[in-house]
Amino acid sequence: MPPPAHVFRGTFIHSTWTCPMEVLRDHLLGVSHGGTIMFLEEASQEERLAKEFCFKPCEIRELSQHEFFMPGLVDTHIHAPQYYFAGSNVDLPLLEWLAKYTFPTELRFQSIDFAEEVYTKVVRRTLKNGTTTACYFGTIHTDSSLLLAEITDKFGQRAFVGKVCMDLNNTVPEYKETTEESIKETERFVSEMLKKNYSRVKPIVTPRFALSCSETLLGELGKIAKTNDLHVQSHISENPDEIEAVKSLYPDYKHYTDVYDKNNLLTNKTVMAHGCYLSAEELDIFRDRGASISHCPNSNLSLSSGFLNVLEVLKHEVKIGLGTDVAGGYSSSMFDAIRKAVMVSNILSMNKINTKSLTLKEVFRLATLGGSQALGLDKVIGNFEVGKEFDALLINPKASDSPIDLFYGDFVGDISEAIIQKFLYLGDDRNIEEVYVGGKQVVPFSSSV
């Protein structure tokens, strides 16, 4: 067996299904040349591990006392083209917001040069923010969406990339495809992506939402997903006006979930964003199909869409992760998604809808292991289990120019849970010293990108 590519000694924090946040102090973690985790054990086992895995003590990289590793963040829902206006234009409800800001912006991505600038910036920014896995919506433009996949691969981010499908759009009629075009271009997108055979970037079938797609298109996309065994992403039950409009457009279906379900788009490889107003019956269908929900609290608040009751989703045993939903969500940072998810949960308990709130630790699990499960990657990433790929962030709460002030008491002994909490609530990219995807350091960026 070849020796490890990396051996780290220090503190590692991650989630398991039985423990929302496990803090492993003074541990050794080894990463293979293929990027998988070879061992994670107490440092007292160094001699035995060194013999078994053929490494020398001088090859161990020791973290400083206040540094720690955590798993990479998984953004289960982000619109790459909308990064162009992220941080602005969140003053309208969903349907008006799409017509006034989103569709006109996305139309511009027929220009490859424009797409290259925006897509390079969003991939760099999300990686700097600690997003090691992203589930991206592109636009209806196949070549721009293929470029997004290429850029994502070049920077080393793990991702699903979707060419958006929409053959209905009365508000900005120039931003839509014919049904035939949408089907043909989706097939071309999938075929080109599979030919590229990127190691960590995969295609995902992407009907924008039921309001943007004819029944014929939905049915054909369901077939494409089934034939190629692909992931599927879309939106569901985000806003009351949208739900009413879906009822009018699809009167023969029982509810919003039924529209996707009957068209083979609700599978164990499906992730649906929002789901604020799903009924118990709909949640049960999600559970039975093995479909997932992406909780996007910033966007749900910014566009005044609604609140997702995560505890209710979990009670129905539906898989769930977090999403930034740029640009309905104004921040591309998953740390913002963590903070907003805690706040939304607090609001629901204050209003007596729930008897308790999600804890910060439980939301940390949603952003890492939960997101990996929602995207069907929990056997590959999500925590520091032996055999998984090393997607990780090296965190330094004491980094120069850190937004966190630490005090003398914070440094007595090993890293305290208070420091970890301070980082999760107050930290940002200045505290993320290094980012690894599949064992390869991708931040700081290499000169080749």
Cα–Cα distance between 176 and 194 in angstroms, integer? 25
How sure is the predictor about 409, in pLDDT bands with cuts at 50, 70 and 90? Answer: confident
Task: Name the strand (E) or helix (H) holding 82.
Answer: none
Beta bridge partner(s), residue 201: 159
Structure tokens at 71: 């798993």
Residue 169's pLDDT is 98
pTM exceeds cut of 0.95: yes
Which SS3 state, helix, strand or coil, does residue 4 take? coil
Say how many residues make up the chain: 449
Q: What is the dihedral angle through the alpha carbons of 100, 104, 105, 107, rounded to the nearest 10 degrees?
A: 160
How sure is the predictor about 408, in pLDDT bands with cuts at 50, 70 and 90? Answer: confident
pLDDT tens column, 262-310: 999 999 999 999 999 999 999 999 999 999 999 999 999 999 999 999 9
DSSP E strands in 108-200: the ranges are 131-137, 158-162, 164-165
Residue 415's pLDDT is 79
Structure tokens at 275: 């789901």
pLDDT tens column, 368-382: 999 999 999 999 999
Structure tokens at 48: 């035995």
Which SS3 state, helix, strand or coil, does residue 122 take? helix
Q: Residues 232-256: what's their mean pLDDT?
A: 98
Please name the residue that has the structure tokens 């997003």: 131
